[in-house]
Amino acid sequence: MNDAKRTREESDELHSTSRSAESADRQLYGHPRERPRTLPGGDLLAEGFHTDVRARQHTIVIDEPEVLGGTTDTGASPIEAVLAGLMSCHVINYQVWAAKLGIVVDSVSVEADGDIDLLGFFGIDPDVRAGYGEIRLTVALDGPESRETYAALADAVDAHCPVLDNLRNPVPVTRALVDK
């Protein structure tokens, strides 16, 4: 579960920040905004299935549970990281869009779960998808606004959440195999 609480002052500051995406882009990536944007990333396989993934100056630990062949279980699995990305992106977008729309939200909680059949992951059944068959989000908003206002906020978040967009709409993925 991801929780977030914002004061009115923090929401006002976030609203101001959300209007300066180009400035943030320049600060993060060092050059003017281009469309489409290519985000840098990389990874290093360390031990067993333990992987340290670099995103800017951050390291995200990804691993598999021992029951799935992992040797250290020191982090979320890649498929769990997908849900974590979706939940965190929603929490952030609820705060951004509440500020942008002038909606007061005292707290946001997002939970996600998904159905996965490991027969696809292990290649046992070629008719079974390797990834999630379905993902469910549960969002709880607390604050003084009406249910209708929060429903409109939820629609705005769903329309603008980059991770949700990537999950709902096919994204072309290319792979290049290079010599090390």
Of the listed ranges 18-22, 41-45, 49-53, 89-93, the one predicted with least confidence: 18-22
pLDDT of residue 72: 78
pLDDT of residue 162: 95
What is the pTM assigned to this prediction? 0.78
Average pLDDT over residues 126-145: 95
Average pLDDT over residues 104-118: 94
pLDDT of residue 25: 53
48 torsion bin: left (phi>0), alpha (psi -120 to 50), beta (else): left
Tell whether the model's pLDDT for residue 80 goes beyond 60.
yes
What band does 73 get if pLDDT is binned at 50, 70 and 90? confident
What band does 88 get if pLDDT is binned at 50, 70 and 90? very high
Average pLDDT over residues 38-54: 69
Tell whether the model's pLDDT for residue 33 goes beyond 60.
no
147 vs 3, residue with greater confidence:
147
User: In angstroms, how far is the first alpha carbon of the chain from the final one?
Assistant: 39
Average pLDDT over the chain, rounded to whole? 82
